[in-house]
Every structure is written in C-alpha cells, then in structure tokens.
Amino acid sequence: MIKNILSFLCLLFVLIACKDKTSKYKTSQVFRYNEKDNITTLDPAFAKNEPIVWATNQLYNGLVSFDDELNVVPSIAKKWNISKDNKVYDFTLRNDVYFHKNAVFGKDSTRTVTAHDFEYSIGRLLDPKVASSGRWVMQNVKSFKALNDSVFRMELHKAFPPFLGLLSMQYCSVVPKEAIEFYGTEFRSNPVGTGPFQFKMWVENTKLVFRKNPLYFEKDEKGKQLPYLEAIAVTFFADKQTEFLQFIQGNSDVLYDLHTSYKDELLSPVGDLLPKYKNKLAIDKAPYLIVEYIAFLMDGETVDNHPYIRKAISLGFDRAKMLRYLRNNIGTPATGFIPKGLPSHYKGALNTYHPEKAKQLIEKYKQETGDHNPTIKITTVSSYTDLFEFIQRELQGVGLAVKLEVLPSPVLRQLKANGKLPTFRVGWIADYPDGENFLSLFYSKNFAPQGPNYTHYSNPVFDELYEHSLAITDKKERIKIYKQMDSIIMADIPVVPLFYDEVVRFKHNNVKGLTTNATNLLELKRVYKTE
C-alpha cells in the first residue's frame, strides 16, 4: 500500500512538473494530443511506426515531402533534376535551412544545412552498426555524394519511379554529425533537427514537449513564418477510456483513434457526428492508404486454396453491411487491392456481394471434389474478431463452414511469413504513396519470408507488367499498367480485399488548419487555435 502511494505521489509530482514547464504558454498556442502507444525514440533512423513518425515529423526535414494530395513537393531541396534513364537524381538545396540551436554547435549556436549533411545522414542510415529499421529504403541506391555544399546526387542501380516518395519518409531526414557524435545512443532523447518544432523535454511514458523553432525556413502564402503554434504537448495515456475522457473534457485537442469502446458515443450508425457534439467538435475523414484483406497461401493443397472456394468467399459476404454495423461506416468496401486515395485505385466490381453465385460455386466444388462439408480456417487477431465472426455467419449461409483461429499479432506475423497459414487476415499500409507498394506483394521474386509476397502468388503476365512499370517514367502510363495488374489480381483471387480504411480525426472546433491526408501523417506547422 505504502509503495503504491509513493508511486502515485511520484507520478503526480512529474505531472505537476511537466505542467509547470508548459504553463507559461497560452493554452491557445499549445497543441495537445495523446499518444496511447509508447514513443521509444526521437531518432528518425528508427521511425518505424506511427507514434515515432508523428513525433519526428515535427522535428526533422528531408529533401522532399508530400502535400495533402500526395504530390511530391520541395522541402530542403528546392528543386531536383532526374536523368533521362531515371537513375540519377541531383537535388539542389536551399541555403536558409538551419539546425536547431544546440550546444553541440557552440553555446546557443547553430549552422546551415549542406549537401554534406545529407551524405552523412544517408550513410548513417545504411551503417550496419546503426542497425536502422529504414535501411531497406536505400536498397536500390548505387551511390550518393555531395557534389558541393548545395547539390546532392543519388544514383540508383535501376530505375524506380516511386523513389522520390521513398525519400519523403522520416528515415531520410537530415541530422547533424556533431549531435550524433556528441550524444551517441542518447541522440534518441536529445534530437537535433531542422523541423518546425524543436525538442524541449521528455519524461518517457508521461509527457513530451516541443517548442516552436524560431529559425524555421518555411513561410505561409502571405509570407508569415511557420509554425503558428508556440508548443506541442504529448501525453501517454494508454487506456482508451482515459484518452477519450481527456479529449471530451478539453484536455487534448484531437482524438485520432475510433475505438469500439466509445465509437457509439460519438457517431451515429451511419458515421455522422452525434447532434450533442456538433457545436463542440468536428470530424475529419479521408481515405487511408490501408487495405484489409484475407490472404490465401497459393502453393498449398487445402480447401481454402480451391479457386471455387476463394471466389465464393469473395462473393459470399456483404462488405457494406459489415462496415455499417461494425464500424459505423468508417471505411469503404474494397473493389480492388490498391486503395482509394491513390490515382491507380481500381474501381472494378469484381468483389460485389452475390450470395446466390457464391452458393453455386460451393455446390460446384462439392460435385467436382466429393467434399460435401467444405470447411476452412481463417486466422486473425483479437481486434478483428467481430468482423470475422460476421464473415463466418455470412459464409455459413452460402454453404461454407468457417473456423476462426485467433492468435497474438507477433505469432500471426511469424507464421504467415514462413508459409504456415493457409488463410489469414492481413492489413497492408503503404510505406510510400504509390500503387507499386501494394502490387509488390504479388511479384513472384518477393516471396516471403525474404519479401512481402505472403501468398506465394506467381503469374508471369503480372510479373512482366510489374517489371515493365518500373521502367516507365510517364506517371499516367504507369497508372494504366497498375490498374491492369490490379484487375489480374482480382481475377486470380490470391486475396479477398475486405475494405479500405479511413483516416478519422475528431477535433475541437477551435482547432484550425489541421488537415487529413491518405498517409495519416500529423502535420502541425500550419495549425493554430482560436480562443
């Protein structure tokens, strides 16, 4: 009991201390959000999940970035030139970008960013001793070097049109050699970048505070320096209900996770904000580059892998009904594999609900195989149990028995990577916003566990189109090929797409300038709050 009281008092002291650190700033100038999952580092070389990506996006910049429409736009690189063979990229840098003031540059000092800093940062990303989770981003890079202080060159082994999109990832942020050498492994909690906000304090699992960077190089359309906010304060309440109550009580400015424990408190069954909140809150929705799907191991000899069964599963359940009743219409029924939000999204209707045709396929399977009680097993994780129980009931209605196996997420990941599951649930989120990222899951040279082709799908026509698309620099022509490849996937059915997710953010009405985008990146440099 005494130990518990002391622990509580220590936590209370920390919270009061953190509050004191930010109390001198007006609440209207501080953007507050809760991160229910822990942030383990503020080093962009390890920005492997959303909590870290959101935090590091405030602290760092790279050569390029994306706007809300997923167009590649300049960041520290003000322009670039690409060779005719699409292999050599020359980036010309701005000359007004400064690192955050830090003692590593001398007392309360800084310096400008040069091309040599990018040479160092990319080299660090590839250094085996660093063991960055982002090394794969540079797997196609043949060489890189600073031609002078202002021009940075990167050469690829082979043409890869989505390369600029890869460079927008936080992994590719510029960091100063002085800070890495001074802080060593402690750079994770002593970040020095160029971003719109700079590091102030971090009490791990309790509170994280960033301050406005007075030297930030970007300005708005009227010439006003960004960012508008004075500070960002992040809390770490892991409990969903606590997070929800903190938001409703006005202690945080945004709620970005729609959990089953409180979704009906905020939304109607069709996904509209309930009337009692309309004068207080706003809801933003946007396509999210995630596709949820059922995958089949194509080189297995199981009931699941029979083409009639796969087709019957695709036709045998009502996606729209599933989203309406279980997700308050958050998400869109899938029509292809590449999700909404990308121009290569396939708008075909090959997966529409058709229970009578599904029954016919099951009967045809029974007649041709002699198996009069076909049964399949679908493996999923606990957070998707309600969706798969719905699918289970729907498929039983068309004559297909379904057993559900619920496993911890790490176990499922290991088993699917090693080809140990005949049928399983997968959610794929884009690493970079290009249709190629989704289609690479079906390229035969990407078989798991070495690559992301968990289904072991192989089609020579698909492979030929995939390789051809990488040699095409014309974006519109490449999109046509992507759609053709998606249609092949939908015809062969190595997967059954379920739905495309949506970015859903609830915010208080006084929060302005907070936009949504299909990568669900948190952009705060243009956000401000009214009284």
pLDDT at 27: 57
Question: pLDDT tens for residues 46-59?
Answer: 999 999 999 999 99
CA-based angle 492:331:338, to the nearest 5?
35
pLDDT tier, 531 (very low <50, low <70, confident <90, very high otherwise): confident
- Secondary structure (H, E, C), 66-95: ECCCCCEEECCEEEEEECCCCCEEEEEECC
Q: Is the pLDDT of residue 510 over 80?
A: yes
CA 516 to chain CA centroid, nearest Å: 13
CA 91 to chain CA centroid, nearest Å: 26
What's the CA gap between 504 and 425, in Å, rounded?
Answer: 22
pLDDT at 21: 46
pLDDT at 26: 57
Question: pLDDT tens for residues 80-128?
Answer: 999 999 999 999 999 999 999 999 998 779 999 999 999 999 999 999 9
Q: Name which of 189, 188, 229 is nearest 211 in CA terms.
A: 229
N-terminal to C-terminal alpha carbon distance within the chain: 43
Looking at residues 449-457, what average pLDDT do you find? 93
What's the CA gap between 249 and 420, in Å, rounded?
Answer: 47
Looking at residues 426-435, what average pLDDT do you find? 92
pLDDT tier, 162 (very low <50, low <70, confident <90, very high otherwise): very high
The structure tokens listed for 131 are 């063991």
pLDDT at 2: 42
Identify the sign of the CA torsion 488, 493, 495, 501: positive
Q: Is the pLDDT of residue 459 over 60?
A: yes
pLDDT at 431: 86
| Site of tokens 């176990």 | 411
- Contact call for residues 503 and 518 (beta carbons, < 8 A): yes
- Contact call for residues 87 and 159 (beta carbons, < 8 A): yes
pLDDT at 107: 78
The structure tokens listed for 205 are 């699992």
Q: Count of CB atoms within 10 A of residue 502's CB?
A: 25
pLDDT at 13: 41
What's the CA gap between 243 and 239, in Å, rounded?
Answer: 6
Q: What type of residue is 429?
A: I
Q: What type of residue is 229?
A: L
CA 219 to chain CA centroid, nearest Å: 27
Work out the burial of residue 367: count CB atoms within 10 Å of its CB; fewer than 13 is exposed, 13-18 middle, 19 or more buried. Answer: exposed
Contacts of 265 (CB under 8 A, 6+ apart): 244, 274
pLDDT at 471: 87
- Contact call for residues 333 and 319 (beta carbons, < 8 A): yes
**For a pLDDT cut of 70, what percent of the chain falls above it?**
94
Chain mean pLDDT for the chain? 91
What's the CA gap between 154 and 137, in Å, rounded?
Answer: 13
- Contact call for residues 25 and 37 (beta carbons, < 8 A): no
